[in-house]
Structure 1
Amino acid sequence: MATLMARLTRCAMALGLLLTAVACGSGPPSGRLTVMIPWSELEFQAFHSVIRSFEEKTGIQVDVLVTRAQTQQLDAAVAAGAPPDLAVLPSVGALDRYARGDRLQRLDADITEDYAQPFRGLGIVGGKVYAVPVKADVKSLIWYNPKVTVEPPPNAMTDLQALSRERPETWCLGLASGPTSGWPGADWIADILLSQSGTDTYKGWLLGDVYWHSDEVAAAWTAWRSIAAKSVEEAAEKKFGEAAKGMTAKPPTCALAHGALSAMGFPPSAVAGDAYNYVTWAPKSTRQLEVSADFVGRFTENPSGTALITYLSSAEAQQAWVNQPGSYGFSALGQGKPLTYDNLVQRGIAKMLQPDSGYTLCFSAADAMAPDLSAAFYRAVLDYTADAAPLKILLKGLDKVQAGRDSPVPPDKLCAPAT
């Protein structure tokens, strides 16, 4: 822990905006590099354990820059000409913008060959590889505490709406998340659209061919509001991670949550399958899942950056990473690279990402949007919960933000069978 704190002191990125990026410099010697990440607490510790292994194997020193305001911090550092050597990119939309703006360095194509679809193609812009997915997630999950909710909750839309009418404070829902407040609602709305209207409508919406104010998209918003019910009333001020912890609190303050395992904040002491478990949101008839990934890209020519990306992409590093206490992440490595998950619940979710699972994986909607559109999506979610404007007005406003812009993700890369 002393070493960890020393690292953070050298490049104290927790709250500083531009200061840290400048202090760390844009051209360190090849035996040292900087990497900017958005993870904190247990997620950070899991990542840092992998970094320590890399340092021991290579002798390369890594300064980890931690920030929860990833978009703002990275934009400021890049604009000042003092980017970190590597950064976890906040979205595929940001990845596309940095690549097309000649901010990202090209990577060797063979780094991505072991990754599964649809993750592999998302780091490719203009036929060139710019980033690799080093951590994956499945968002189409409903969580419950088996000690409190003895029977698994329903995943059918009408059944969940009926449940919320009977128990309006059922959901562990928080929307507060700093500059990205609103994202939990955005993820849920996208999940509902995918399950209600299918992949063609989902892709058409992201590509701008299906309007935000269309009946299909509007129905996803109203369905979310009816399911979340009374739980939305204080959600705007409640942090998502803190809200989800209510499920395993003693006594529990809520019963169900929606989203990725890594976002739930379950403590390592909570026994998987006993203190928490899940059902998939995807209807059995369609078997569609909303997934996401954290990509790492290189912003400088420091050769040590390539060495770290190569290591983070290896089965060895991925295996160590997914089994760190509190990691709760998944590997996007494909066939021929099977990993062992110690956590029973994690193991079941990981199978959904493997080849021949039968699931169609669709990339997270907000992450596949241009950054300004996803930000507007998050704001609209907050306005909707606060009844700040009629839904039709909010959705037409999002149509104006999207008008005339191309999707940063080609349509053939938005959804793909797990392969």
Structure 2
Amino acid sequence: MSPKRYRRALLPLAAAGIVGLALTGCTGDIAAGDKENTDCSAYDAYGTFEGSPEVSIGGTIQDAEADRLVESWKDFQTCTGITVNYQGTKEFESQISVLAEAGNAPDLGIIPQPGLFNRLVDGGFLKPATKEVEANVDEFWSEDWKGYGTGSDGTFYAAPLMASIKGYVWYSPTEFKDKGYEIPKTLDELNTLTKKIADEGDHKPWCVGLGSGDATGWPGTDWIEDYVLRQAGPDTYDKWVKHEIPFNDPAIVEAFDSVGEIIKNPDYVNGGLGDVASVISTEFGDAGLPILDGTCSLHHQASFYEGFWPEGTKVSSDGDVYAFLLPGTEASDDKVVTGGGEFVGAFKESKEIDAVRAYLSSDTWANNRVKLGGVISANKGLDASVASSELLQDSVKLLQDENTTFRFDGSDLMPGAVGTDSFWKGIVAWVGGQDTKTTVDFIENSWPSS
């Protein structure tokens, strides 16, 4: 599941109420500017349209982030004459297939994860990408990212949009400096640092929270995914998420056991929050906060967690908090990451829809949106320096690096019965005391037969 932007719990909706509910969460348009005072050279390729045709976009993005999204196409609207209307609702993921089947889907959808994308493709709801969109993706995105927007029929449908990096470990630069801690370059060094902090006796080294309402457990899946990718490698990771190896394969068992040595260890958790049991009950958004008062040293969470620190917190390598990437088994494995992102799919076709699709897949849009703050993109045409923080700038560079091994969040690639159900439930039971074999067997047995 994806709020994995951050995870949003999905609410079941009665079909009769879906159309009305789809109209909630609407973000008001930011008025187009004065064309005479706008540099439209970057938008000439999209054409100009008479009569202010409208293009509707739906997605899960809401609140301040939605406002920035709308701001990102202000000049595009001014220069092309197209009016773009965005509606954000947390129920988008649960509504969109029903809306599409009824012919009530928006023109475009910002699809928050590949599993939903594949279901929409298999349902025959999405239109293939135009040649302009595909040309942009071929120029500005990696082959892996293009693959996530390609259907099982081999047709390319949806361009990537924004991204996030998983597997960051948040820490206090001041504590590390004062106590002489060094950023670990391997998992073994991370384990050594963890033991050192625990042995010093001031506090538990790690703070962890799996709580997220109906989605409780998902932060634990991120831990497992990070360890599978680093310990077993990308080929095994790919086979795992495709079920070409079973969920109870020895490589997956190894990842569970390695993670369990940290988050199920009463000597290592739950710094500033309680005992091992508190790992399950602590809300994920609150779980890293003990770093600020010195009762925890390490917290595993994605790049988006930057937005969860209290106002006034300085997030930088010489600030209150910062983050390093979870290391690999070797020091050379410093560019192996899991992450997430969105994809823009079209439910309808028209010249104005095609123009909006092309713009959203361009380097122009990526730079316009990222410089407004709070997000990143793997678009290779993005100037990393426009990202709004040191961490996000580093994240952009990592995503753009041709030597980076990137894999999409595994649970988002798995069938819903696993990725947003048994995997979450299994993690909760496992942290609560269930053994690894019982847990991985339970998840394996839940995998749909077809």
If the TM-score is normalised by the length of the shorter chain, which range does it land in?
0.7 to 0.9
Query: Mean Cα displacement is larger for which, 212-221 or 31-40?
Result: 31-40
1:236 matches 2:280: yes
Which has the bigger relative contact order, CA under 8 A and spacing at least 6? 1
Contact 1:30 1:302 in 2 (8 A): no
Query: Mean Cα displacement is larger for which, 375-384 or 303-312?
Result: 303-312
Please list the CA deviations of residues 323-347 of structure 1 after superposition, one character each: whole Å capped at 9, or x if unmatched: 223x1x322223x664433422222
Distance 1:116 1:93, change over 3 A: same
Give the corresponding residue for 1:191: 226
Give the corresponding residue for 1:62: 84
The amino acid across from 2:320 in the alignment is A
Contact 2:204 2:295 in 1 (8 A): no
Distance 1:378 1:36, change over 3 A: farther
Structural mapping, 1:329-408, within 5 Å: 329-334=375-380, 338-342=383-387, 343-356=389-402, 358-375=403-420, 376-387=422-433, 389-402=434-447, 404-405=449-450
Query: Mean Cα displacement is larger for which, 207-216 or 95-104?
Result: 207-216
The amino acid across from 2:278 in the alignment is E
User: Tell me, which stretches of 5 or more residues in structure 2 are unaligned?
Assistant: 1-9, 27-50, 271-275
TM-score if structure 2 supplies the norm length? 0.75
> Percent sequence identity over matched residues?
24
Please list the CA deviations of residues 190-247 of structure 1 after superposition, one character each: whole Å capped at 9, or x if unmatched: 1011111222222221222322222221121122122224335223333322323444
CA distance in 1, matches of 2:189, 2:65: 34
Q: 1:98 aligns with which of 104, 115, 120?
A: 120
Give the corresponding residue for 2:273: none
Residues paired across the two proteins, number = 383
CA distance in 1, matches of 2:294, 2:105: 43
Structural mapping, 1:309-320, within 5 Å: 309-320=357-368
Distance 1:75 1:393, change over 3 A: farther
Contact 1:139 1:289 in 2 (8 A): yes
CA distance in 1, matches of 2:105, 2:281: 32
Provide the secondary structure at the position in 2 that maps to 1:128: coil
Give the corresponding residue for 2:168: 141
Give the corresponding residue for 1:130: 157
Give the corresponding residue for 1:261: 303
Task: Give, in angstroms, the shift of residue 295 of structure 1.
Answer: 1.2
Distance 1:304 1:339, change over 3 A: farther
User: Tell me, which stretches of 5 or more residues in structure 1 are unaligned?
Assistant: 1-12, 406-419
Distance 1:180 1:88, change over 3 A: farther
Distance 1:349 1:24, change over 3 A: closer
CA distance in 1, matches of 2:95, 2:295: 35
Q: 1:180 aligns with which of 203, 211, 215?
A: 215
Contact 2:115 2:415 in 1 (8 A): yes
Please list the CA deviations of residues 252-272 of structure 1 after superposition, one character each: whole Å capped at 9, or x if unmatched: 553322232113424675343
1:43 matches 2:65: yes
Q: 1:275 aligns with which of 320, 331, 348?
A: 320
What's the Cα RMSD here?
A: 3.1
Contact 1:144 1:278 in 2 (8 A): yes
The amino acid across from 1:259 in the alignment is Q
1:87 matches 2:109: yes
